[in-house]
Structures are given as C-alpha cells and as structure tokens.
Amino acid sequence: MKIDQPEIDLISAFFPSEESDQLMAALKTDVEWRQEPILIYGKKVMQPRLTAWYGDENASYRYSGIEMKPLPWIPALTLIRNRIQQQTGFEFNSVLLNQYRDGKDSMGWHRDNEPELGNSPVIASVSFGASRRFLFRKYCEHDQKMEIMLGHGSLLIMKGETQTYWEHSIPKMMRVTDARINLTFRWVRGRA
Ligand SMILES: O=C(O)CCC(=O)C(=O)O
C-alpha cells in the first residue's frame, strides 16, 4: 500500500533550550568528527559536512559506499539515547552524527533504506544548533513534496513506510552562519 504522507512525529522542544545548549557544546568537542570522501557517479568527493558513527560494537553499517565502524558510546550520546528510548519506547543500538558547519553544508536526497536497517525502520532524529529546512519528496513522484523546520532540541521520528516511499534532504541555506548537529538513532542488525 502506498502512502501519501511520510509517517512522522515531530516534537519541537524535546530537549529544553538550556540543556540543548549544553549537549550541542559537548557534542562539538567530544565527538570525533571527520570529513569523509563519498562516491558520486564513481568519483570520490568530500562530503559537505562532518560525520561520526557511534554504537554497540556489532553495529557496523555501510553508508554511501563507506564502511562505518562504530566508536564506543560517550556520555552525551548515552544521555540522549536513554531519553529518547524512555520517551518513545523504541530501542536504538547506533547513531549517525552529521555536523553542518554553516548553511553551505548540506545533505543530498536519499532514503535510509540500507539492508542493515531492515523493513520499516524507525529512525529518531535529534537536532541542535541552527534551524534548517528538512525536505521530503516522494521517491516515485518528485513533485510531491513536504517541508518541515528542524530546530534546536527537536526530535523527529520517521517510521512505517517512510523510508520506502520518501526521500529526504537538507538543502543549503546560504544565510545560515551557525553550525547544526543532527543525530539519527537507528537499530542496525548484522548482515546475513
Ligand atoms: O541532518 C539531518 O536532519 C538529516 C540527516 C540524514 O538525512 C541522515 O542521517 O540520513
């Protein structure tokens, strides 16, 4: 069955503002940020953002041609994961972090549909820092679009068939000068 809306829940102030400031500062300094190369039409280019992958030891993940080996959990990530798990009832064994240094950094259209995520994955996306536009478009009908803003301390849950029928992206926003950190918590299972 096809759906006409992505299945999402958005809680704009999941983390209070002051706690969000502290978590943003801790993540900026404590996370091992890297700028990774990515393959686009067979060509290696640097990703327009910084990334990191944390999780349980067995939660390895292939992302856009890159094998991501998780780093062990650090206190700020454990705190955020526990809070989301307690409040939503969903469980997560890993998290992909993206740091957009300013509005020139971005993420292109994609679905989070890697085999390790299984069918109908639940993805919990937490954002800190600059508010950025988050776009959805239908995979098979690109003119069907939807847009939300993801602000400081927000939690977006994507579930159901969202990753089957919808792509998402973070477009550039040239007027944004501040950094934004996004965390997508996932449940990754080993490949057969
Ligand atoms: O930064 C965001 O909100 C999007 C991150 C994203 O699309 C992903 O991790 O797959």
How far is ligand 1, taken at its centre, from the CA of residue 72, in Å? Answer: 21
**Considering the domain boundaries, does residue 1 fall inside one?**
no
How far is ligand 1, taken at its centre, from the CA of residue 89, in Å? Answer: 21
**Considering the domain boundaries, does residue 191 fall inside one?**
no
Helices first, then strands: H and E counts in the chain: 3, 14
Find out whether 102 and 180 touch, Cβ atoms under 8 Å. no
How far is ligand 1, taken at its centre, from the CA of residue 155, in Å? Answer: 12
Site to substitute for ligand 1 among 184, 185, 188, most atoms within 8 A of C-beta = 184
Tell me the residue ranges of DSSP E strands in 47-90.
Answer: 50-55, 61-63, 66-68
pLDDT reported for residue 3: 56
Site to substitute for ligand 1 among 170, 183, 185, most atoms within 8 A of C-beta = 170
- 135: β partners: 147, 169
Per-residue pLDDT of 51-97, as tens digits, reads 999 999 989 877 666 667 899 999 999 999 999 999 999 999 999 99
**Considering the domain boundaries, does residue 69 fall inside one?**
yes
Find out whether 84 and 155 touch, Cβ atoms under 8 Å. yes
- The number of folded domains in the chain is 1
**Considering the domain boundaries, does residue 2 fall inside one?**
no
Per-residue pLDDT of 12-50, as tens digits, reads 999 999 999 999 999 999 999 999 888 888 999 999 999
Find out whether 98 and 107 touch, Cβ atoms under 8 Å. yes
**Considering the domain boundaries, does residue 75 fall inside one?**
yes
Give the CATH number, domain containing residue 11.
2.60.120.590
Closest-CA residue, ligand 1 atom 10, reads 112
**Considering the domain boundaries, does residue 113 fall inside one?**
yes
Q: CA–CA separation, 43 vs 82, rounded Å? A: 39
**Considering the domain boundaries, does residue 97 fall inside one?**
yes
Nearest-Å Rg of the Cα atoms of the chain is 16
**Considering the domain boundaries, does residue 47 fall inside one?**
yes
Query: What percentage of the chain reaches a pLDDT higher than 70?
Result: 95
- Number of C-alpha atoms within 13 angstroms, CB side, residue 67? 5
Q: CA–CA separation, 114 vs 85, rounded Å? A: 22
Domain carrying residue 128 = 7-186
Find out whether 183 and 97 touch, Cβ atoms under 8 Å. yes
